[in-house]
Structure 1
Amino acid sequence: MNAFNQHPDQAFRAHDLHELLEMPTDEASVNITRSRLGRLTRQGFLTQPGRGRYQKRT
């Protein structure tokens, strides 16, 4: 959530978040992040302005 708080107007892809946060970019790690981003979207913390893109809800 820190990346979204620091860049509230920017939409991120899961892979972009991994690069920004210097996390592993292997497929399994990115898929786990996609799952978590989906959960945050369903809970109302994030929105999906496009397919595979996530942004902080304003």
Structure 2
Amino acid sequence: MTAFNEHPGRVFQVRDLHEFLGLPTDEPSINVTRSRLGRLVRQGLLDQPGRGRYQNRT
């Protein structure tokens, strides 16, 4: 959430978010993050403006 709060208008793709945060970019790690981001979208904390794209709620 910190990355989204620091860059409120930026739309992140999961792989870009991992690179931005210095996280591993292997497929299992990407899938875990994708699942967590999906949960945040369902909870109303993030928006999903397109497939695989996430951003802060505006």
| TM-score interval (norm. to shorter) | over 0.9
Give aligned pairs, total.
58
What do the CA deviations read for 1:14-57 (whole angstroms, capped 9, x no partner)? 11110000000000000000000000000000001111100000
The alignment's TM-score, normalised by the length of structure 1, stands at: 0.97
**Counterparts of residues 1-58 of structure 1 (less than 5 Å):** 1-58=1-58
Deviating runs (4+, > 3 A) in structure 1?
none
- Give unpaired runs (5+ residues) of structure 2: none
Scaled by the length of structure 2, what TM-score is found?
0.97
Paired-residue identity, %: 69
SS at match of 2:48: strand
